[in-house]
Amino acid sequence: MRFGKRNVKKPTDNLFVISLFSGAMGLDLGLERAGFKTRAAVEINNAAVGTMRLNRPKLPIVSKSIRDTTTYEILEAAGLCPGEVTVISAGPCCQTFSTVGKRRSVADERGGLFREFCRIVAEARPRFFVMENVKGILSAAKKHRPLDERGPGFPPLCKEELLGSALGLILEELGNLNYYVVFGLLNAADHGVPQKRWRVFFIGSRDGEDISLLRPTHYDPRAQETLGSLFRRRLLPWVTLRKALNGVHSEHWSEFTKERLELLRRLEPGQDWRDLPPHLHRRALGAALDSWGGRTGFCRRLSWDEPAPTLTTAPDGRATTLCHPTEGRPLSIEEYAVLQEFPRKWKFAGSIRQQYVQIGNAVPLGLGEGVGRMLRRVMRATAQTGLSQVNYRRRGLVVCGDAGLEERLANRKKTQLHPPHLRMNPDPEAAREWLEASA
């Protein structure tokens, strides 16, 4: 008697994703490019839900607050049981951690949404999780104190007000999930995305598998002297705005005010407010001229020969300007979508403003795809070798996957102060004593 080949499923056949805080699905589409399949999504924003329904009419969507959503509801929508989910992906609301916001951090109800993510991971027990957030999450404090209330003349900082205290809380709660967690900072341009966009990724493995951060596939040609020739030969140069937008037909964009457009027309590609005549600086920045920092988002015209900077949710905003290199308009919706690597046929619901917000908040597909490919490699390696006791002993560990970042985090300042001329007491010795008195 002869038998045919058995139809045995490979361990990597079932690559099921449940998406939380889905937005326009940037992270999920990236995972799908690596071979995963999105089985359900949770999203409360009406415009983002409309975008998903335009493009994925059969995708089960739980369109209500995640705080009011049980893990059972999500698993039922996906048709899965606890332990059957391959990846839970999430990008909890990031505005409260951003350095351009008020930085209320976990004190803001939106900043605490990562606890809902932890709740669902703890109950669904996916094999992996992928959570991303803004770079500012690395330095945010659990309790934010405005700059104008720091320094000599004010009470010393308490422990919750120190830089990085919010990250400490997040890492503690991720560790309590009993997953092996690797986190680090990734620049999208280093992974073939035509955008210099820094994002923090937290990647977890339920079974202690050998997960890692992504290795760069691209490099900054301007920094090639600092890279070894052998290393450089293995990488491609960053993708420039010129290359990315070649052939893109723009139809939809917002408009600059007449006053803003008059200033932008004075700038060449790659210039910003600092390249305007000094007598126009106040007009360009307003009260921000008396502040400090780079403020490069003010009155900015993009360069053709570099990747775009981080796409903001308002390219026509005064401090978040993303002006086309040669035209008198912000980057268009179509250009935004290309720079975030959305498929050309992907449609966005809502007003022009709502579309900018959806695309600007998305994870570039290249980053999601890179993480997905890494997870696929890990799964194949596990299928070949099996899990060892050493792997299981990793569970509960939370490690930084970048030695350089780990060192910077260990040596960071307690807080950021105004320059002396903006402080109530400009005396540097008084500032040193105040810092020493802080927790």
pTM, rounded to two decimals = 0.91
Where, residue-wise, is CATH 3.40.50.150 in the chain? 16-221+363-410
Question: In the structure, what pLDDT confidence band is assigned to residue 13 with cuts at 50, 70 and 90?
Answer: low
Helix (H/G/I), strand (E/B), else coil: 2: coil
Q: Mean pLDDT across the stretch 310-329?
A: 96
Q: Mean pLDDT across the stretch 358-376?
A: 97
CB atoms within 10 A of CB 227: 16
Q: Mean pLDDT across the stretch 187-215?
A: 97
Weakest mean pLDDT among 126-130, 262-266, 289-293: 289-293
Q: Tell me: the pLDDT tens digits for 284-314? A: 999 999 888 778 899 999 999 999 999 999 9
Fold adopted by 16-221+363-410: Rossmann fold (3.40.50)
Q: What is the full DSSP assignment across 379-434?
A: HHHHHHH---HHHHTTTT-EEES-HHHHHHHHT--S-----GGGSSS--HHHHHHH
- Selected catalytic residue, list 94, 118, 299, 323: 94
Q: How far is CA 120 from CA 6, 88, 113, 114, 371, in A?
A: 36, 9, 11, 10, 21
94 is catalytic: yes
Q: Tell me: the pLDDT tens digits for 57-73? A: 999 999 999 999 999 99
Element spanning 180, H or E: strand 180-187
